[in-house]
Amino acid sequence: MIKKILQIIIILLFLSFQQICFAVNEIKITDLVFDNSSKIIFLPTYNTLDEVEKLNVESKSLENPNRTFFDISNSILTVGNIVYNFKNSPIEKVVLAQNSTNPNVVRLTFYHNNNIDLSKVELLKLRNGLVLKLEEMNIPNSSLHRSFREEKSLSSDFIEKLTFLKQISDDKNNDQIQNEVTSIINKPAHGIKTVGEDVLNNIFIPDDTKRLRSKSYIQKLSVRNGNILLNGLGNITVEKPIILSNPSRIAFDLANAIVSHEIKNKTFNISQNEKVLISQFEPTKVRVVIYTDNVNDYESVFSFDQQSLLIVNKNRISNVKLSDNISKLSSFTISNYNIDDKNLTFEFNNPCVFSYIRNPDNIEFIIYNANFLDITKIKTTLTNFFGEAKVESYGRSIIKITININPNSKTEFFETINGKKAVILIKNKMLKPQPIVIPKDNIEETINVPKNADKKLIVLDAGHGGSDVGATRNGIYEKDINLDVTNRLARMLTKKGFKIVLTRREDETVSLQERVEISNAKRPILFMSVHVNASVNESVRGVETHYWKDNSLAYAKIVQKHLCTIDSPARGVVKSKFYVINHTEAPAVLVEIGFISNTQERNELISEKRKEQTAKVLADAIVEYLKTVK
């Protein structure tokens, strides 16, 4: 009898434990963010969805008015109901509300016009939230969050182009609501119309006070083992640290962030001789100041959920467990976002913990929970592009990459919201500008043929290749377009009786120096490098021709004249000190045959018609120019 009673008690305890675990593992949704640039709605969660045992979503579309809702089971909305009202958008309104409490169901509803293709609407599960995808598209940067930047302000600090109002409805007391309002804006909410005291129960924040990108709300600061941990909501962006003196200290500024009044202007002891202060340095910036004589010992470590930041002392990091998982590098590429800017992209099979340090003449990128199978290959690739580079392994899971870069360049570090991808952007356009000249008719044009040049030999250079994909958008790589057009051009010129040397015949990595050496060794009559352009302004399109040496100006003008017959804006002849056209001995041009960043032109560039037409006009230009050479 006693044995049966004990069995019943154990069963009851087990069932109670399951209920407790289930309650702990409910989804706690903390906010709603609409990203107009990528047409997604992001629902960040307090707990990671890897911990959630059960996640069911039911959806339905209704008419009069047109709306679609998603019911998310086993979920709790930790803030008041949120309503977005949009103007000039296919999305008219978005509502996030606690639909029921027994069971707990959060309902996400969006009201829309007939321009929305509902067949492309998806709800995706990420580690630290849910994403409602409203349109099928492939825009890798939309999922990237800027974790580090050197500039003190960026255009992305400002409001999105979409005009909207955000309404917060809640029955909490006025102080609580005011605190919530403070946590979602990045500067004082000027312009809010107040009509009596009930305005606090129906608050509208004008569009000029809301900034969606890199928003974070710092709720907690704690000191652990001599290191500083910041926790909050949203995504944290750190600026390049500032070292100050009298007294000796280092300051970490968090862009587009607000600190909770509970910890604002408070000092915490790190050790007997060190302390840390957190403050609202500017309306849109939180400053963390560490008072220490060893300012160079501190660096920031980014968690893979991007909602916490660890500022560590390098001498004490061995005491910190940063991750339970060891990741493997699945891919590494170097590409051009713009022709002068390099993107280094690292992709992993599991979420990673990163650290990024900008020194005067180099950058250090540290992955604390990863293994590289081929360190030598990565080091060789980096060295080809940047000169001396180091890839070092420490212990069983720490990788440190050091890259020498120009002290005047600016860099940024991005992570995806699932922690599996990291991108380093090196912005060389911030260097001292190269002279740019739009040639005028009165500029003297010289035609100097290199001594012993083969007048029937032409070197064609398909830009980028291999691990250097060039500019990229929507899964389309510049290197592939360059190679296709160059091969077509080679075939056309061969039929016209010319001998052609290609710097690359397939998708392979060829350094800039190797391309120059190939050309100079062959002694050609001409050199041409084929590229595709890109811009952060997606409306820009057109064709342009670059030259550097005076003996290439006449060649460049003829090439540009023929490029202008393509149905694309003419952007002119530009004097640019690109490596391959600066160091080749033969007359040389670099052609930009269109913009991959412009949707219309990108679709044209990958079409058979545009590629064939481009190759033909380049061939005609070369033939016409060579008729002027005696």
3-state secondary structure 119-177: HHCEEEEECCEEEEECCCCCCHHHHEEEEEECCCCCHHHCCCCCEEEEEEECCCCHHHH
The residue among 558, 545, 629, 523 whose CA lies nearest residue 590 is 545
Q: Under a CB-based contact definition with an 8 Å cutoff, are residues 445 and 496 in contact?
A: no
- Ordered by where they begin, the domains of the chain are 27-138 (2.60.40.3500), 216-315 (2.60.40.3500), 327-430 (2.60.40.3500), 454-626 (3.40.630.40)
> Strand pairing of 40-44 and 81-87?
unpaired
- pLDDT value for 32: 74
- pLDDT value for 298: 94
- pLDDT value for 72: 87
Q: What is the model's pTM? A: 0.45
Count of other CB atoms within 10 angstroms of residue 550: 15
More confident site: 336 or 384: 384
SS3 288: strand
Distance CA 276, CA 268 (A): 5
For 354-379, write each residue's pLDDT tens digit.
999 999 889 999 998 888 878 888 88
Highest mean pLDDT range out of 217-231, 311-325, 419-433?
217-231
- pLDDT value for 617: 96
- pLDDT value for 562: 95
SS3 93: strand
Asked if the model's pLDDT at residue 65 lies above 60, the reply is yes
Assign 142 a pLDDT band (cuts: 50, 70, 90).
very low
> 186-195, 227-236, 448-457: which range is least confident on average?
186-195
- pLDDT value for 135: 56
Mean pLDDT, range 235-240, rounded to an integer: 86
Say which residues have a Cβ less than 8 Å from residue 169's Cβ, sequence separation at least 6: 80, 81, 83, 201, 202
SS3 44: strand
Distance CA 557, CA 536 (A): 27
Assign 89 a pLDDT band (cuts: 50, 70, 90).
low
More confident site: 284 or 82: 82
> Strand pairing of 543-547 and 570-575?
parallel
Say which residues have a Cβ less than 8 Å from residue 321's Cβ, sequence separation at least 6: none
- pLDDT value for 48: 60
- For the CA atoms of 515, 519, 520, 523, the dihedral, rounded to the nearest 10 degrees, stands at 180
Max intra-chain CA distance, the chain: 113
For 393-413, write each residue's pLDDT tens digit.
887 788 999 998 888 788 888
More confident site: 211 or 480: 480
Residue 159 sits at φ, ψ, to 5 deg, of: -65, 155
Distance CA 545, CA 276 (A): 54
Mean pLDDT, range 505-521, rounded to an integer: 88
For 607-620, write each residue's pLDDT tens digit.
999 999 999 999 99
Distance CA 368, CA 352 (A): 7
Helix H or strand E encompassing 258: strand 257-259
Asked if the model's pLDDT at residue 626 lies above 60, the reply is yes
